[in-house]
Amino acid sequence: MNRSPIGIFDSGIGGLTVTKEIVRQLPYESIIYLGDTARVPYGTRSKEVVASFAKDLANFLLKRNVKALVVACNTISSVALEEIEKMSPVPVIGVVKPLAKKAVNQTRNKKIGVIGTNGTINSGAYEKEIKNIDPEIEIISVGCPLFVPLAEEGLYSHKATKLIAEDYLHNIILAGVDTLILGCTHYPLLKDAIAQILGSGVALIDSAEPTTEELKKILAENDLFAEKNVPTREFFVTDAPERVYQVAGRFFGSEIKDKIKKISLT
Amino acid sequence: MNRSPIGIFDSGIGGLTVTKEIVRQLPYESIIYLGDTARVPYGTRSKEVVASFAKDLANFLLKRNVKALVVACNTISSVALEEIEKMSPVPVIGVVKPLAKKAVNQTRNKKIGVIGTNGTINSGAYEKEIKNIDPEIEIISVGCPLFVPLAEEGLYSHKATKLIAEDYLHNIILAGVDTLILGCTHYPLLKDAIAQILGSGVALIDSAEPTTEELKKILAENDLFAEKNVPTREFFVTDAPERVYQVAGRFFGSEIKDKIKKISLT
């Protein structure tokens, strides 16, 4: 048993969609969330810069004696997970491996689509994980760089979002996939728009549930559950303009405005 | 006379639209451009974070002995110009004042529209400058946060861009302005889409030409022209993913791929 908090980090506030599920399934666990809102987004940056920023975030949480690190960001999990694992004395859980595994279990026709930031897609991380489990699966990957700003601006059902999504998803539809990986923690907010275009024959799966399952497995294996603990929940960001307060609640599923604290990493 | 370079900086590569005009009008001047592509965009961040990042950029250029600093970014010019002026031993030229002045000279019906990032619009910097010159002018300002990602993705004439622009410009049209300030260095790339919506009765003015005129005035006043110099042109960025190389040429108007160098500010 261990009552230390679980550290969760992301390039911004997208990781709150994963945090919401962790808190739901593990109500006794204390958590510390850290979002790098001063330098978000990571999905357009080089691997080197993402790795360097991600290490700053991990360091902040490790100094606070977290018992595990959840990398609640597809871009960081895709391009810098190894580097985080190397520096961390505690278990590290990324979102890519659990999500890839779930998609492989889900598909019937062995055709999986992956959408994400350009950083995630260009890394080929999902292809690698899926092919490791089943080399016969066909994979089609598409970078959707405008989905993050559209989600952050709240244009979930705007006609412009639909038009852009139709462009992005065109080749996914042509490929006839039956499973689509939402490979970015912002995308659950656009799930309805994406589902409308793809129809009910395509299962949409996101990071929240499989990552939480993986976290539970790791906690069990290492005897790290907090059990009947009175949990603390802290939310840190590196910049807190009004917009972060406005949007955070939407991503976490309930208001956390008063709990968000601004910190500096330097 | 002074052959030291002019330092030009921006949150990313948008400032290249201003740099293009500076190079065209001042062909003998050496320039050093610095774009903070590792931390772009600034338009969604707090004033404090923008000021802190902007000082890093100014420091880099001042160490290279520039004879003047051009803040080729509307967000930085709107929220942190004073701080840059305080730290700089050389003249500082922002984009807001020259652009506001040009708009006041241009308007006939004394109604001016301003569009920009949320950072620029929330600062009220354009209102302040315009009211300083002529308090009777009516101003309507609208933040257009999706214009930067749409411009960077090259969706200049996409139907989605048109729909989003129609939403953003709705109140500008209702107000009956005859002059619109494109208060972000990315927006010249969306000029055609904006002009189509507003029609030929509205003059669209951007930062490039008035800022270059102001720079020339300051160089003249301080006897800083290089004159028959063989100029050098250096372009630095803080991160250089493939996408920066792809887009930079579009903003500068000619290919500069081989001239871009990646540096670190820390």
| Structural domain contains residue A150 | yes
| Structural domain contains residue A40 | yes
pLDDT at B246: 84
| Structural domain contains residue B12 | yes
Q: Strand order of the sheet with strand B6-10? A: B92-94, B68-71, B6-10, B31-35, B233-237, B260-262
Same domain, B218 and B90: yes
- Kindly tell me the burial class for residue A207, based on how many C-beta atoms sit within 10 Å of its own C-beta (0-12, 13-18, 19 or more): buried
C-alpha distance from A107 to closest chain B C-alpha (Å): 32
Higher local confidence (pLDDT), B219 or B247: B219
Per the structure, the complete domain to which residue A145 belongs is given by 96-206
| B150, closest residue in chain A (CA to CA) | A146
What tokens appear for A217 in the block?
Answer: 């497995």
What tokens appear for B91 in the block?
Answer: 């003249």
Other C-beta atoms closer than 10 Å to the C-beta of B185 total: 31
Same domain, B161 and B219: no
pLDDT at B62: 98
Same domain, A110 and A196: yes
Last residue of a domain, one of A163, A182, A206: A206
**Contact call for residues A154 and A185 (beta carbons, < 8 A):** no
Is the pLDDT confidence value at B5 over 90? yes
Cα–Cα distances in angstroms (integers) from residue A84 to residues A78, A92, A99, in the given order: 11, 7, 19
The DSSP secondary structure of A53-105, one letter per residue, reads HHHHHHHHHHTTT-SEEEE--HHHHHHSHHHHHHH-SS-EEESHHHHHHHHHH
Counting the structural domains of chain B, the total is: 2
Same domain, A59 and A86: yes
Same domain, A111 and A197: yes
pLDDT at B208: 97
Same domain, A216 and A87: yes
Is the CB of A149 less than 8 angstroms away from the CB of B153? no
ipTM value > 0.90? yes
| A160, closest residue in chain B (CA to CA) | B160
Q: What is the rounded average pLDDT of the residues A108-121?
A: 97
pLDDT at B228: 84
| Structural domain contains residue B1 | no
Same domain, B87 and B214: yes
| Structural domain contains residue A237 | yes
Peptide bond into B231 cis (omega under 30): no
Residues 6+ apart with CB under 8 A from A94: A71, A76, A77, A81, A84, A211
- Kindly tell me the burial class for residue A262, based on how many C-beta atoms sit within 10 Å of its own C-beta (0-12, 13-18, 19 or more): middle
Last residue of a domain, one of B206, B231, B251: B206
Fill in the amino acid letter for A15: G
Q: How far apart are CA B56 and CA A228, in angstroms?
A: 48
End-to-end CA distance of chain B: 33
What tokens appear for B220 in the block?
Answer: 């003249």
Last residue of a domain, one of B161, B185, B206: B206
Strand B233-237 vs strand B31-35: parallel, antiparallel, or unpaired? parallel
Is the CB of A46 less than 8 angstroms away from the CB of B150? no
The residue with tokens 């840059």 is: B84
The pLDDT-based confidence of A35 (bands split at 50, 70, 90) is: very high
pLDDT at A212: 98
The string of pLDDT tens digits covering residues A1-13 is: 899 999 999 999 9
**CATH number of A216's domain:** 3.40.50.1860
The CA-based dihedral angle spanning residues A236, B9, B36, B229, taken in that order and rounded to the nearest 10 degrees? -160
Residues of B with a catalytic annotation lie at 73, 184
Same domain, A113 and A123: yes
Lowest-confidence pick of A99-103, B171-175, B251-255: B251-255
Same domain, A33 and A161: no
When CB atoms are compared, the residue of A150, A155, A241 closest to B44 is: A241
Residue among A40, A44, A197 with most chain B CBs within 10 A, to mutate: A44
Residue among A123, A238, A239, A265 with most chain B CBs within 10 A, to mutate: A239
| Structural domain contains residue A70 | yes
When CB atoms are compared, the residue of B37, B38, B153 closest to A145 is: B153
Same domain, B88 and B220: yes
| Structural domain contains residue B251 | yes
Fill in the amino acid letter for A92: V
Inter-axis angle of helices B125-133 and B96-106, nearest 10? 50
Q: What is the rounded average pLDDT of the residues B91-99?
A: 98
Is the pLDDT confidence value at A266 over 80? no
**Contact call for residues A144 and A170 (beta carbons, < 8 A):** no
pLDDT at A229: 86
When CB atoms are compared, the residue of A45, A163, A241 closest to B45 is: A241
| A242, closest residue in chain B (CA to CA) | B46
End-to-end CA distance of chain A: 33
Residue A184 designated active-site? yes
Same domain, A31 and A114: no
| Structural domain contains residue A1 | no
Q: How far apart are CA B4 and CA A137, in angstroms?
A: 60
Same domain, A199 and A108: yes
